[in-house]
Amino acid sequence: MKYLFSLIVVFSILVNPINTFAEEVVLAGGCFWCLEHDLESLRGINSVISGYSGGDLQKPTYENHNGHQEVVLVNYDSEVVTLSEIYRLYFRNIDPLDGGGQFCDRGDSYRPVIFFENSDDKNEASKSLLSASKELGVNLEKINVELKPKSQFWEAEAYHQDFANRNELKYKFYRFSCGRDQQLDKLWKENARSTNSWSE
């Protein structure tokens, strides 16, 4: 039986090597266009899909996703990038002190949330909250990123996917006018949008 399992693993690697070590995490941090664009830059990320999660509404849309947050579904290769590294980049692309939305986008749809799959994911997320508080020099209670159990992910409409690359000028104008990068630079300084290790 163990030989059969080994053969299945080897076969899966040969047939689809990208997905053999693929794992997923769902993150909310304001506008999903921005979060998708920022996380795609990390080595080991296979794909980032914009969508909705966290609420009870079935088949949410951009016009009606009441109770859901705008989120991204991050598919990553755990042999190349760790969940801790993804959380670190996530934090440095949001304002974790703001639980009422992100930048110019206000309200429940835009508040920062990490959706965890299991206790290991939750522990990693909790560690990242603590690391962020230390780097920012604030008490842990000031970090307003909610940790919630993972719920159903609903993929957003096609025109939202890969928006930054398909609508470069519109995306850059939105991002600048929303003040996202200006606030990130003020908050995280030289580590804004950085994959560097957490500061001590």
Helix (H) or strand (E) run with residue 115 in it: strand 113-116
Q: Which amino acid is at 90?
A: Y
Q: Which residues have CB under 8 Å from 10's CB, separation 6+? A: none
Q: How far apart are CA 33 and CA 84, in angstroms?
A: 22
Q: Which amino acid is at 105?
A: D
Q: How many beta carbons lie within 10 A of that of residue 3, not counting itself?
A: 7
Q: Quote the tokens at residue 175.
A: 């991002």
What is the 3-class SS of 137-196, one letter each residue? CCCHHHCCCEEEECCCCEECCHHHCCHHHHCHHHHHHHHHHHCHHHHHHHHHHHHCCCCC
Q: Which amino acid is at 2?
A: K
31 is known as an active-site residue: yes
Catalytic residues: 31
